[in-house]
Amino acid sequence: MIRKPISRKMEIIYMVISIALLVGFYSYLSHRQHKVNPKDTTIPNFSQFVEGGKKLIGTDSAGENWLIKDSEATGVRLFWGLVIGISLSFFIGLGMGVHPPVEFLFKLPVSFLGKIPPTAMLAVYFVLFGTELKMYTAMIAFGITPALAMAIYGSVRDDVTDHAINKAYTLGASSFEVIWEVIVAQIFPRIIENIRLAIGPALVFLIAAEWATADVGFGYRLRIQSRLLNMNVVYSYLIILGIFGWIVDWALLTFRKWYCPWFDIRK
């Protein structure tokens, strides 16, 4: 039956099966490749992954730890890019949703910019911001702002009824109180949902920029190690990125369920 719920036990079993299938398929590919060439590094086996892990947690000839150094650089760039991008998106999207003049002032340019891939604008960011922290921050911020702002704008228009707004005015609320206590309170879960969806694109923009210009960070390390065919390091970095994204997504989802329990009930 369509959408028939299953027990928690079966959910766990299916998740374990999916992981086992992925690991099994990869192990088969690695085994087949190493039968042809035992020294192959394009599909590393378990021992090669261990060797790559040692490179990550150890120190290089300069006495630096790759993982710590790259995590710090990428983390700072991602943090500030998301903070600025989410802030811009919130104010632009909210303003478009509550004030028609703001809507028609920003709607067309925001929609237009949202159709341009941020990675295609790398040269523009280089010219405007250089190649330091400002460039990475701007690429993430302006990369996620159009889609996130339009999503917040749509949530204000679709999820908040005129009846709720008029009722708040009738009870004596000011315009600021209506915006904060009625509109923002109702769209906040949607904002969190859309931030969850923005994490992936933000990482794509950052890794692409680091790949092209950085001298430290995950994108830089992936570029250098890919050229050297050290795929055990490359895959390890990809796994770390995946785990990081999953943790952030889980944290946002958990926060939304804790702070807005009514949202899941309403759905």
Residue at 144 is within a domain: yes
Residue at 61 is within a domain: no
Please state, in angstroms and rounded to a whole number, the distance separating the CA atoms of residues 252 and 195: 8
Please state, in angstroms and rounded to a whole number, the distance separating the CA atoms of residues 255 and 45: 38
Contact 152, 194 (CB under 8 A): yes
Residue at 196 is within a domain: yes
Residue at 56 is within a domain: no
Residue at 77 is within a domain: yes
Q: Token pair for residue 102? A: 């703001």
Number of domains into which the chain is organized: 1
Residue at 113 is within a domain: yes
Specify the pLDDT at position 52: 78
Q: Token pair for residue 6? A: 């299953």
Residue at 159 is within a domain: yes
Q: Token pair for residue 189? A: 């879960």
C-alpha closest to that of 79 among 142, 7, 10, 141: 141
What string of DSSP letters covers 48-114?
HHHHHHHHHHS--TTS--HHHHHHHHHHHHHHHHHHHHHHHHHHHHHHHHH-HHHHHHHHHHHHHHH
Residue at 218 is within a domain: yes
Q: Is 44 exposed, middle or buried (CB count within 10 Å of its CB: 0-12, 13-18, 19+)?
A: buried
pLDDT in tens, the chain (267 residues): 777 888 888 889 999 999 999 999 988 888 888 888 888 888 888 888 788 777 777 776 667 788 889 999 999 999 999 999 999 999 999 999 999 999 999 999 999 998 988 888 888 888 888 878 889 999 999 999 999 999 999 999 988 888 888 888 888 888 888 989 999 999 999 999 999 999 999 999 999 999 988 888 999 999 998 888 888 889 889 999 999 999 999 999 999 999 888 877 555
- Look up the pTM and report it: 0.87
Question: The domain spanning residue 173 has which CATH number?
Answer: 1.10.3720.10
> Which residues constitute the domain of residue 261?
72-266
